[in-house]
Structure 1
């Protein structure tokens, strides 16, 4: 945080809600007033005990998993395609590696659906969110110190929970999306590395308010849909997140696209043709790369769904 404040950026703590008040979280979701931090809310979940590294090794150590290893510790994009960092190995070997690797070469078992490894009952999200009929999805993130989910935006509301270890989260409102400087061809990933903010290249960032929280075991963070978030691990850690609710749709992204100017319109038109009409494969140098804006617009015109291949809850429970 000292780097951001030294650069003259406004950094505020995320509002806290009382974890003893059973309706505090639901009220926050209904009001959509911003993110909420509920320290200790999930202390009683079985995941708090069963997802400790020692337990993971004992219960799941022989299971084969595909993890990302030797990841870069700096930069917004991967130097190579994401597939070049993928390695298949026993879960127990990954857990050992997770504890041994330093932040210079982090490793990550990330974006894994919880039910593919664990019992979903280990984390009780159903009692926390409103029942609205929209699809949900729950993912687990297990990694070494130094793992990073660079500044990006999701289309659904999100519960981000810290099960073990510590992470920092920085958020920027969807209203300040222009200040997040999305990539011209990708409206949900930012060009900014908040560890080294370049305010000469990205001057609009000065006008945004950044919100920060350090997540500790048992903490839950509500991230409203569209809010940009940057997540970094201080220690080896285990986290779980849950997407839910009505997603942002085509009109929201068209308004953002319209505000960003000709460079974005040209990139969208190019990708509409190249990756939509011509179906050419896109590179995966973002962290779990979404489809380009042009490809998504092509899908919207063809199927009526702007996020057909980008909604993580599609087909999930």
Structure 2
């Protein structure tokens, strides 16, 4: 996959790299707090999920989870330190894209070695055990999502683990499914942009679910639609759960060493919504989608992985949709 945006970052880091809210405000972009739920109960969460109108923060719903104690770095070192893991080490501190293929950052080491490295890492060279299926490493029953959402439905669900140093970043992107992002240990900033404002996210021409925007370094001269939208942002700590409706763009970055878990659930965003967005984005996107349809669909050529856990290109996903009926093949975490 060849991208068109520069990966160049600023020569020096500043506080907004960890917390983008001030950077957005200084650029004249409207940024408001993520609303807190009025009813912070499982029933209130289920109602919010059913309405799917807005992201919300819930506090206290995970207070009884075993993970809140069992998944601290010290306990994980004691209980799972001998396990072998593959983590991303020495990640770049700036830029939207990796300057080299993601596989080149991967290193296999013991969980104890990773935890020690994570606690000691400098924010200029973060490390991340990311997108790890929680059930493959830890006891998933330590997180009781069934008590919050009820039994899994026919659409499937998936729970992923995110353990990393200060300075880790999941750059602005959009997911297919509804998402509960749960902070277990440490603090992170979550910054959101509604799906209805997807044009202002300036997706990459070859990938509709990854944004060219670095919310810590917004450039309204280059991306003028940012002037007309509202971002929502909050710092979350242990016990906070953020409901992120499917399609909602989100950027998540750590202030401290951190342990988080997220849970995808419910039906995926449908093919028509992406086609409608593609139609609004214009000819340059249509041309790129056609090229990738041919190269990575019909010809089956492999794609680079320079996005954070790169999904297939839009053209490849369109090819999959026409071939199998599933626009989400290869990008649905629950399959």
TM-score (norm 1): 0.97
Which of 81, 93, 108 pairs up with 2:113? 93
| Aligned positions of 1:189-208 closer than 5 A | 189-208=210-229
Aligned partner of 2:258 among 230, 237, 249: 237
Residues 162 and 198 (structure 1 numbering): CA distance in 2 closer, same or farther, change over 3 Å? same
What's the CA shift for 1:19? 6.0
Question: CA shift at 1:30, angstroms?
Answer: 1.2
Q: Which residue of 1 aligns with 2:125?
A: 105
Pair 1:267-2:277 in alignment: no
Deviation at 1:18, TM superposition (A): 4.4
> Does 2:48 align with 1:28?
yes
Aligned-CA RMSD value:
0.9
- Report if aligned partners of 2:42, 2:149 keep a CA contact under 8 Å in 1: no
- C-alpha distance after superposition, 1:184-217 (max 9, x if no partner): 0100000010100011111101111100111100
Structure 1: unaligned runs, 5 residues or longer: none
SS at match of 1:62: coil
| 1:48-63 correspondence to structure 2 within 5 Å | 48-63=68-83
Post-superposition shift, 1:255?
0.2
Per-residue CA distance 1:88-110 (angstroms, 9 max, x = gap):
00100000000000110000000
- In the other structure, the counterpart of 1:297 is 318
Contact 2:317–2:327 under 8 Å retained in 1 = yes
Q: Give the C-alpha shift of residue 139 in structure 1.
A: 0.2
Contact 1:81 1:284 in 2 (8 A): yes
Deviation at 1:21, TM superposition (A): 3.2
TM-score calculated relative to the size of structure 2: 0.92
SS of match in other structure, 1:135: coil
Structure 1 consecutive aligned stretches of length 4 or more whose deviation exceeds 4 Å: none
CA shift, 1:41, in A, is: 2.0
5+ residue gaps, structure 2, are 1-20
Offset, 1:130: 4.9
SS of 2:78's equivalent?
A: helix
Mapped partners of 1:97, 1:230: distance in 2: 24
Q: Distance in 2 between matches of 1:130 and 1:35?
A: 19
Aligned to 1:215: 236
Is residue 65 of structure 1 aligned with residue 85 of structure 2? yes
